[in-house]
């Protein structure tokens, strides 16, 4: 069978199929594995990610696949849930069983008054009472207003968490999806709320081990091999761009939705679905890398920044030097649409550097080198009532996988691998095999 796309979704599907003895061929247009979560080479000397991804302990399927493909636990930094905004907030979950880990962490938090602490407890209790089900049309902003969250708590905790998890501003973000994330992180066990930050690049984290796993099970990975169209034929589907001649009985389309729509349209039998994918709204993610040199480090591996303006564009900063990367390399992350989009790249670098200086309260050296990576359509905009398709298409034997597939979660690496695993399980069920 064939998988189109060697991102996290496509490789998760291929690994599960190969584990069950199915021979899989994966086609990938790029020469780099990982899709929208991949390594980028700079000046032949440096390797950075096209975007900073964090996992949480609740992301069980990706963690399972990392173990299955031989990944080392050392590839992920396991940090207790920590929200640190320099000079404004320090909230760290305690090393205790749930729910004490969060309760004690909240009691010890610096930068929050009693009104803020009570508001956080009020929101979590309200969601628990509702079974973490909220009206489908509710936005995160509506949820915060209904549960009387304080301005400080919303600005320092809820808004940054929402943008980080859903990559969508609170005024537009789905309260239900946000509630799902809170249910499986803050409201779950202590391990589920841990922050897991990759110490290796995103291609090395899962895609490269997955490729090795496939190679030992007679799987094939064709990089630099674009598939331009999918044609239904007797016995399955012919892929335009496939150097082979045989039709494929099963095909998994595991590309970004804006690439999947054209391939679906090429089949002649999925026009409505292709149109729906074309209509999906997207949000960008911008990563600004600043190589500040030896001796430069952040107070925590990940810190929050009060952002959202052209002068203060970033919401988070990651110290890659504390996470297995070069000392002094800082990754500033700007999620969703905003005023920063009007800035040229050199001005964006200056703005991120100045923002770090202001919020750290000290002068920083000029970067030895810098890099701006823009993913204009990094994720779908996670809005209330958003159409997210299932894994099945109108044509038998043609499947969809990707982070945009219908899920409890926003468009994350976990959503991507869950969709790939769901495709593999459905195919295996048709073949009469079990994983």
Burial class (CB in 10 A: 0-12, 13-18, 19+), 397: middle
Whole-angstrom Cα distance, residue 312 to residue 310?
6
For 217-227, letters b (16+ CB in 10 Å) and e give bebebbeebeb
* 43 C-beta neighbours (distance < 10 Å), count: 7
How far is residue 342 from each of residues 305, 347, 364, measured CA to CA in Å? 20, 10, 25
Closest CA to 4 of 375, 204, 277, 263: 263
Closest CA to 318 of 32, 84, 17: 84
pLDDT at position 392, please? Answer: 98
pLDDT at position 23, please? Answer: 95
| Residue 338 near residue 308 (C-beta atoms within 8 A) | yes
How far is residue 358 from each of residues 60, 168, 352, 364, measured CA to CA in Å? 38, 25, 10, 10
For residue 396, the surrounding DSSP H or E stretch is none
How far is residue 431 from each of residues 237, 397, 428, measured CA to CA in Å? 17, 11, 5
* 395 C-beta neighbours (distance < 10 Å), count: 17
Q: Tens place of pLDDT for every residue, the chain, 435 residues? A: 999 999 999 999 999 999 999 999 999 999 999 998 888 876 657 788 888 788 888 888 999 999 999 987 789 988 888 999 999 999 998 888 777 888 899 999 999 999 999 999 999 999 999 999 999 999 999 999 999 999 999 999 999 999 999 999 999 999 999 999 999 988 887 788 888 889 898 899 999 999 999 999 999 999 999 999 999 999 999 999 999 878 999 999 999 999 999 999 999 999 999 999 999 999 999 999 999 999 999 999 999 998 777 789 999 999 999 998 899 999 999 999 999 999 999 999 999 999 999 999 999 999 999 999 999 999 999 999 999 999 999 999 999 999 999 999 999 999 999 999 999 999 999 988 754
Domains of the chain: 2-43+58-64+199-280+384-431 (3.50.50.60), 81-193 (no CATH), 282-380 (3.90.660.10)
Residue 365 DSSP label: P
pLDDT at position 57, please? Answer: 83
Angle at 361 between CA 356 and CA 367, to 5 degrees: 40
* 263 C-beta neighbours (distance < 10 Å), count: 23
């Amino acid at each position: 069978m064939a998988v189109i796309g060697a991102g996290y979704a496509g490789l998760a599907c291929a690994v599960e199929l190969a584990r069950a003895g199915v021979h899989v061929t994966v086609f990938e247009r790029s020469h780099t594995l990982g899709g929208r979560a991949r390594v980028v080479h700079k000046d032949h000397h440096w390797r950075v990610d096209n975007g900073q991804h964090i996992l949480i302990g609740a992301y069980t399927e990706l963690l399972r696949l990392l173990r299955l493909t031989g990944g080392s636990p050392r590839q992920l930094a396991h940090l207790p849930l920590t929200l640190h905004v320099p000079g404004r907030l320090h909230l760290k979950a305690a090393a205790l069983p749930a729910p004490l880990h969060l309760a004690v962490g909240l009691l010890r938090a610096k930068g929050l008054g009693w009104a803020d602490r009570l508001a956080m407890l009020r929101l979590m209790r309200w969601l628990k009472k509702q079974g973490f089900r909220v009206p489908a049309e509710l936005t995160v902003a509506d949820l915060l207003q209904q549960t009387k969250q304080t301005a400080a708590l919303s600005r320092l905790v809820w808004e940054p968490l929402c943008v980080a998890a859903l990559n969508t501003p609170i005024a537009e973000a789905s309260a239900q999806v946000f509630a799902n994330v809170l249910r499986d992180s803050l409201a779950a066990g202590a391990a589920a709320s841990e922050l897991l930050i990759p110490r290796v690049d995103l291609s090395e984290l899962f895609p490269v081990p997955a490729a090795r796993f496939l190679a030992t099970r007679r799987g094939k990975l064709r990089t630099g091999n674009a598939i331009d169209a999918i044609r239904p034929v007797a016995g399955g589907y012919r892929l335009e761009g496939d150097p082979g001649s045989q039709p494929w009985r099963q095909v998994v389309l595991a590309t970004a939705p804006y690439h999947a729509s054209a391939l679906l349209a090429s089949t002649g039998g999925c026009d409505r679905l292709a149109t729906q994918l074309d209509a999906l709204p997207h949000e960008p993610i911008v990563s600004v890398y600043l190589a500040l040199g030896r001796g430069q480090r952040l107070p925590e591996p990940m810190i929050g920044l009060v952002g959202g303006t052209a002068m203060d564009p970033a919401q988070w900063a990651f110290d890659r030097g504390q996470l297995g990367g070069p000392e002094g390399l800082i990754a500033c992350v700007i999620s969703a649409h905003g005023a920063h989009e009007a800035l040229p790249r050199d001005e964006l670098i200056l703005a991120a550097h100045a923002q770090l200086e202001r919020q750290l309260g000290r002068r920083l050296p000029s970067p030895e080198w810098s890099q701006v990576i823009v993913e204009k359509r990094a994720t779908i905009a996670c809005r209330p009532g958003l159409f997210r398709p299932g894994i099945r298409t109108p044509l038998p034997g043609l499947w969809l996988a990707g982070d945009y597939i219908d899920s409890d979660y926003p468009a994350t690496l976990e959503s991507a691998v869950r969709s790939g695993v769901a495709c593999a399980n459905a195919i295996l069920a048709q073949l009469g095999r079990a994983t």
